[in-house]
A and B are shown apart, each in its own frame.
Chain A
Amino acid sequence: MDTNKRMFRFLNYDLILGSLAFWGIMLLINIISIFMQHIITSNILMGPVNQGEFAMSFVGTNFIAVLVFFIVYGLEMYYENFSLAVGFGGTRKNFYINVLISNLLVAIIFSSIQMVLLKLDNFLVSSLGYKPLENYGFFNTSDNLLNNILVLTFLLLVLASLTNLLGVMQYRFGYKFWIGLGVLILIGQMIFNFLERFIMSVVDIEGFVNTIIEDIPSISFPSKTYLIGLFIISISYLIGYLFIRRADIK
């Protein structure tokens, strides 16, 4: 087995078990949520509300947990695995290449599971007599499953690239990174109301994307999103590599 394959196995040693545990818990929460909604028949609707309509999704709320998973996964990759991998005779370059592969793998697995669950969720919500939430902005759950998996994989890869960068920065600079980030946010808040703008950009992602690339009307919203996403992925991974390629092991 060559060094790349060994590094791949090393980085993904915990991944299957970790993913199984994560999705096992999420599935349990989803089932309990559906069951509770069924027996209690409450007026309180669970899941995100779509465009002012009372549309419901149990599984849609999983996205918050997925976000937390990716943050922890990004931080742990460097806090635990980087030192150990290089300590066990791996190279930084091999490590980083396999981090990219691992990120892609996680994005594919998570998007596949989530998309299948969303299909089932739609069916269950309808059978309970509620209106299912279908429009998630970048994809519609009634669309082709494979297409949706690809879209969500791409979006999760954008998220993974950012959490990977977070992990790299945390490893290189430790608490200084968080202080620096805090100061930047504070300055941003004072100068151009950063936090409100950031939250509004996330809420109205389409409007935000259109403002960034407003001069090319021929490009549709999804295409603009992919362009921006691709830019974020490239830049985040590139910066991450520049910081980790000469990092000392702590």
Chain B
Amino acid sequence: MLEIKDLSKSYGKNKVLGNIDLEIEENKIYGLLGRNGVGKTTLLKLITGQLMRDSGQIVLDGEEVLENPRAMEDFCLVREFSSSIKEKKVKDILNLARIMYKDWDEEYEKFLIQEFGLDTKKKLIKLSTGNQTIVGLIIGLASRTRFTIFDEPTLGLDAAIRYKFYKLMLTDYEEHPRTIIISTHLIDEVSNLFEEIIILKDKELALKEDVDSLKKKAYFLSGREYNINKVTNGKKIIHREDFGSTKIVGIFGDLTKDEIANIKKHNIEISSIPLQKLFIYLTDNMLKEVE
């Protein structure tokens, strides 16, 4: 298990991430969600030791991860390539990745190159944005690291390639279980992949929960505004819609049997929130308290 304790990072006086306490279990797929600038990439870079933290600990198997060669080789962070290496040929980048990752699967790498139709003789800079992304995806998948992290893995990819990647990732995950963390804005496409989600808000951890229990906590209530207001008092509202005198609200939190009975008594329809919508609401309107 990967334990993150009281993690903080600032650039000068500008705090970019603070007080993150998190436990990442092995062999699960996590979704890391949050709005732009909330600190998702910073968190991923801190986990993989690419950024130096101000305070806190990241512990894997009881050992601090930072500058620990044994622990660091268990991480692969796939993100947009920096401009400094874009003059390198794709085959050279893949060869270098093969050297560095101890569990690199060469056969799988070849399969992925063929599957994505990648020209490895070209320089990275000569490839389209989508194909540059594919190089990163191949590295992530073929690295077979214990913790494979994808930061915006679908940048510049068309829908067909995106779904091919999701399919390949899931197939490989079933055959070679590992922890996968995906940070993405395309929530509706990947929501069904996640087993747990982590939501950042205001540069802090807002929520970490497994998808099954999330589903059980999120409801749409639909009915007369007057009645809705009565039953949502004190509940966390994550979504609101008005259709004339009818109101639909999304609430987040456990409902007791009595509360459910009370809702029904007020002629309010109760239904589950589809996963895609739930993630979008949680990310956008994270846990607003009812005033």
Which residues of chain A have a CB within 8 Å of any CB of chain B? 1, 3-4, 6-7, 9-10, 13-14, 79-80, 83-94, 246-250
- B50 beta carbon closer than 8 Å to chain A: yes
User: Please, how many angstroms separate the alpha-carbon atoms of A85 and B99 in the complex?
Assistant: 10
Docked-complex contact B85 and A80, CB < 8 angstroms: yes
Q: Does B17 contact A (CB under 8 A)?
A: no
Name the CB-closest residue of A to B45. Answer: A249
Residues in chain A near residue B51, CB distance under 8 A:
248-249
Q: Complex formed: what's the CA distance from A10 to B99 in Å?
A: 6
Looking at the assembled complex, report how far the CB atom of B253 sits from the nearest CB atom of chain A, in whole angstroms. 39
Q: Which chain A residues border B99 with CB–CB below 8 Å?
A: 6, 9-10, 13
* Distance in Å: Cβ of B107 to nearest Cβ of chain A: 18
Interface: B73 (CB within 8 A): yes
> What are 10 residue pairs bridging A and B, where the CB atoms are less than 8 Å apart in the complex?
A3-B72, A4-B69, A14-B92, A84-B96, A87-B77, A88-B96, A89-B74, A246-B52, A248-B45, A248-B51
C-alpha gap A91/B72 in the complex (Å): 7
Contact yes or no, A3 B70, CB < 8 A: yes
Assess the A10–B82 pair: CB atoms within 8 A.
Answer: no
Interface residues of B in 35-88 (CB under 8 A from A): 45, 48-52, 67-70, 72-77, 82, 84-85, 88
Contact status B85-A84, CB under 8 Å: yes
Closest to A93 in B: B67
Given known A88-B101, A89-B145, A249-B51, contact A83–B84 (CB-CB < 8 A):
yes
Q: Is B97 positioned at the interface, with any CB of A under 8 Å from its CB?
A: yes
* Contact, CB under 8 Å: B145 / A92: no
Residue of A nearest to B77 (CB): A87
B75 touches A89 (CB 8 A): yes
Asked whether B96 lies within 8 Å of A13 as measured between CB atoms, the reply is yes
How many B residues have CB within 8 A of the partner chain? 30
**Closest 8 pairs between A and B when the two form their complex, measured CB to CB:** A88-B100, A249-B50, A3-B69, A89-B73, A91-B67, A89-B72, A248-B51, A246-B52
Q: Which residue of A lies closest to B145 (CB)?
A: A89
Bound Cα distance from A6 to B97, whole angstroms: 10
Cross-chain contact A10 with B100 (CB below 8 angstroms)? yes
* Inter-chain contacts of B85 with A (CB < 8 A): 80, 83-84
A93 to B68, CA, bound (A): 9
- Confirm or deny: B15 has a beta carbon within 8 angstroms of a beta carbon on chain A: no
CA distance A86 to B74 in the complex (A): 12
Give the residues in chain B near A87, CB-CB below 8 Å: 50, 77
Most chain A beta carbons < 10 A, residue from B69, B93, B97: B69
A249 contacts which chain B residues (CB < 8 A)?
A: 45, 50-51
Other CB < 8 Å A-B pairs besides A3-B72, A13-B99, 18 of them?
Answer: A6-B99, A6-B100, A6-B102, A10-B96, A10-B100, A13-B95, A14-B92, A83-B84, A84-B85, A84-B93, A86-B50, A88-B100, A89-B48, A89-B73, A91-B49, A91-B72, A249-B45, A249-B50
Q: How many A-B residue pairs have CB under 8 A?
A: 70
A1–B45 CB distance below 8 A: no
> A90 is contacted by which of B72, B82, B84, B88 (Cβ under 8 Å)?
B72
Partner of A248, one of B52, B68, B76: B52
State the Cβ distance, B239 to closest chain A Cβ, in Å: 38
Decide: B92 and A250 in contact? CB cutoff 8 A: no
Q: Is the CB of A85 within 8 A of B50?
A: no
Chain A residues contacting B82 (CB-CB under 8 Å) are 83, 250
Q: Which residues of A contact B95 (CB under 8 A)?
A: 13
In the complex, which residues of chain A have a beta carbon less than 8 angstroms from the beta carbon of B67?
91-93
Across-interface contacts of B84 in A (CB, < 8 A): 79-80, 83, 250
A248 contact set on B, CB distance < 8 A: 45, 50-52
Assess the A1–B69 pair: CB atoms within 8 A.
no
With a cutoff of 8 Å between Cβ atoms, the chain B residues found around residue A86 in the complex are 49-50
Q: Residues of B contacting A250 with CB < 8 Å? A: 82, 84
Q: In the bound complex, how far is the Cα of B92 from the Cα of A247, in angstroms?
A: 25
A90 to B50, CA, bound (A): 10
Chain B 152-164: CB-based contact to A (< 8 A → 1; otherwise 0) = 0000000000000
Q: Tell me the complex Cα distance, A89–B48, Å.
A: 7
Whole-angstrom distance between the Cβ of A80 and the nearest chain B Cβ: 5
Q: Once the chains are docked, how many angstroms separate the CA of A1 from the CA of B103? A: 11
Interface centre among A4, A6, A79, by most chain B C-beta atoms within 10 angstroms, is: A6
Closest residue on chain A to residue B83 by CB atoms? A250
B93: which A residues are within 8 A, CB to CB? 84
From B52, B74, B92, name the one whose CB has the most chain A CB atoms within 10 angstroms: B52
A5 and chain B: residue at smallest CB distance: B99
Q: How far apart are the CA atoms of A83 and B76 in the complex, in Å?
A: 13
Among A3, A13, A88, A92, contact of B92 (Cβ-Cβ < 8 Å): A13
Contact A85 B52 (CB under 8 A): no
- Give bound CA distance, A1 to B85, whole Å: 25
Q: When A83-B82, A83-B85, A250-B82 are in contact, do A89 and B101 touch as well, CB less than 8 Å? A: yes
- B49 CB contacts on chain A under 8 angstroms: 86, 91
Is the CB–CB distance between B45 and A80 below 8 Å? no
